[in-house]
């Protein structure tokens, strides 16, 4: 069917979950006309740990009171265990929240509408508009629920459409820093589960469990088995039994999940995700940016996705508003945002990768966590790292591991060759990760410069 109309907006956002709806709110409040397109009929559930560690993001977005009104209890304590290392700490001045995505996504969409964004659900993006002479993105095409094909002209297209981003595919954004998950995720909601108002994380041997009280009296439990163990979950009728079998033995002190689950009522079926890719994507180009999971996806074990989306949407708005004057300044602003976003996200990406590995904890990391467990100050620092108030690399610094390595060598509890081998691998891995973060931007800049020189030679500007 032919295109029936063309509309004009400053910004067109593709994807209406956390990243897209929060960006729409910030950009609309900045005075730009914003169209928000979402393919699904929201609200609907999606893979998420639901955790929000930085409530300031919600406060600046103007939704914190509404989120609290959903009944999600503030969590002033995190119960964290890494094998026998108790990393638990109270943080009453910086509580966390856990909100189901069906609740949070709908609330954020409504906030975007109130801010003035034009929100349209069940719209499928089918293509991008580009200028003929330089290929700059100038808009998009989409299909509505009635089969009509429409065209939108805009200065900036924001792809906030998830890990399988249509916008990312259409602009040819390359992936880098690729890694795969080593654990599946099985999660379920419970009613009448007398769980304490705290975030619960426990890794014991090869097993891992997350739990948190959510909105409207629900509690979310998630077990994360190693991928080689997920075959038992996939057998017919086994997912519910395996989930409860793995969740019941967990707990510390007065919080034994076997006792708590006895009187709880499961809500709905257990959900399971097995394999998912973790990666970064090129996140900015002429007339386009990628945001949220379209931009980068990390292992879910640290539960950072929601806060990353909120924070990066806010930062993008600040950059775009400052560089809105011309195409050149806008491109400079979005490229600068991409660099800043990667610097912010990469350390937590790799920490999530390390914490989500299957198998038992290595001796070096076991000693590292034992050192943290022995220090109330370091336990609070770890909470600040997870709350993004203290830098990952400042916390997991080389000198801390040097102290751990020296202690292992001095005590002789771990064979010398094992300690030195782990230390060498740690150095090589960190160097490779830092180069992996620099290389994509370096290569893209080099390619863009080569194209510019080639274009100038064709027009005779360079002799």
pLDDT, one tens digit per residue, over 147-199 is 999 999 999 999 999 999 999 999 999 999 998 899 999 999 999 998 889 99
Q: What is the CATH architecture assignment of 3-72+99-179+277-352? A: 3-Layer(bba) Sandwich (3.50)
Q: Where are the beta strands (DSSP E) in 83-233?
A: 85-86, 89-90, 97-98, 118-121, 124-130, 137-143, 149-153, 156-159, 175-180, 185-191, 199-204, 207-213, 219-223
Tell me if 43 sits within 8 A of 105, measured CB to CB.
yes
**Quick one: pLDDT at residue 459?**
47
Phi, psi of 99 (to 5 degrees): -130, 130
> 220, 214 in Cβ contact below 8 A?
yes
Coil vs helix vs strand at 149: strand
Beta bridge partners of 279: 297
* Dist. CA 145–CA 165, nearest whole Å: 20
Q: Alpha-carbon distance 108 to 61, whole Å?
A: 9
For residues 94 and 385, is the Cβ–Cβ distance under 8 A?
Answer: no
Domain ranges within the chain, ordered by starting residue: 3-72+99-179+277-352, 185-273, 358-433
CATH 3.30.70 fits 185-273, yes or no: yes
pLDDT at position 76 is 96
As a whole number of angstroms, the distance between CA 137 and CA 321 comes to 18
Q: Which residues of the chain have pLDDT under 70?
A: 1-4, 252-255, 413-414, 426-427, 434-435, 437-463
Q: For residue 58, what pLDDT is reported?
A: 97
Q: What is the pLDDT of residue 447?
A: 58
- The number of C-alpha atoms within 13 Å of 253 and in the hemisphere containing its C-beta is 10
pLDDT tens-digit series, residues 211-244: 999 999 999 999 999 998 888 888 888 888 888 8
Crossing angle for the helix pair 18-29 and 101-115, to the nearest 10 degrees: 20
Burial of 309 (0-12, 13-18, 19+ CB in 10 A): buried
């Amino acid at each position: 069917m032919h295109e029936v109309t063309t509309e004009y907006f400053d910004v067109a956002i593709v994807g209406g979950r956390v990243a897209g709806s929060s960006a729409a709110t910030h950009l609309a409040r900045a005075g730009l006309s914003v169209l928000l397109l979402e393919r699904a009929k929201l609200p609907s559930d999606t893979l998420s740990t639901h955790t929000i560690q930085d409530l300031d993001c919600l406060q600046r977005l103007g939704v914190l009171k509404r989120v609290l009104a959903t009944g999600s209890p503030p969590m002033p304590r995190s119960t964290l265990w890494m094998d026998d290392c108790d990393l638990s700490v109270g943080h009453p001045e910086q509580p966390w929240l856990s909100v189901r995505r069906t609740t949070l996504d709908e609330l954020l969409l409504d906030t975007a509408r109130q801010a003035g964004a034009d929100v349209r659900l069940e719209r499928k993006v089918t293509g991008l508009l580009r200028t003929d002479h330089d290929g700059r993105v100038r808009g998009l095409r989409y299909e509505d629920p009635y089969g009509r094909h429409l065209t939108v002209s805009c200065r900036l297209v924001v792809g906030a459409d998830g890990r399988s981003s249509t916008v990312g595919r259409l602009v040819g954004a390359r992936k880098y820093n690729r890694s795969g998950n080593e654990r599946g995720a099985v999660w379920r909601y419970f009613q009448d589960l007398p769980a304490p108002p705290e975030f619960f994380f426990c890794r014991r041997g090869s097993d891992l469990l997350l739990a948190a009280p959510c909105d409207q009296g629900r509690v979310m439990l998630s077990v994360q088995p190693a991928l080689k163990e997920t075959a038992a979950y996939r057998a017919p009728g086994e997912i519910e039994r395996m989930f409860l079998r793995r969740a019941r033995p967990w707990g510390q002190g007065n919080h034994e999940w076997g006792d708590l689950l006895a009187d709880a009522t499961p809500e709905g079926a257990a959900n399971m995700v097995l394999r998912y890719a973790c990666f970064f994507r090129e996140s900015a180009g002429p007339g386009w940016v990628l945001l949220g999971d379209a931009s980068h996806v990390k292992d879910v074990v640290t539960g950072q996705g929601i806060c990353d989306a909120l924070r990066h949407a806010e930062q993008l708005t600040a950059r775009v508003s400052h560089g809105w004057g011309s195409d050149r300044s806008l491109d400079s602003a979005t490229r600068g945002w991409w660099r800043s976003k990667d610097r912010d996200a990469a350390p937590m990406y790799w920490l999530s990768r390390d914490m989500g590995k299957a198998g038992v904890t290595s001796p070096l990391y076991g000693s590292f966590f034992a050192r943290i467990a022995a220090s109330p100050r370091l336990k609070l620092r770890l909470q600040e790292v997870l709350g993004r108030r203290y830098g990952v690399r400042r916390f997991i610094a080389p000198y801390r591991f040097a102290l751990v390595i020296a202690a292992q060598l001095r005590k002789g509890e771990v064979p010398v060759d094992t300690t030195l081998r782990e230390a060498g691998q740690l150095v090589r891995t960190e160097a490779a990760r830092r180069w992996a973060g620099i290389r994509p931007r370096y290569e893209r800049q080099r390619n863009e410069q080569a194209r510019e020189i080639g274009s100038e030679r064709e027009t005779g500007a360079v002799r």
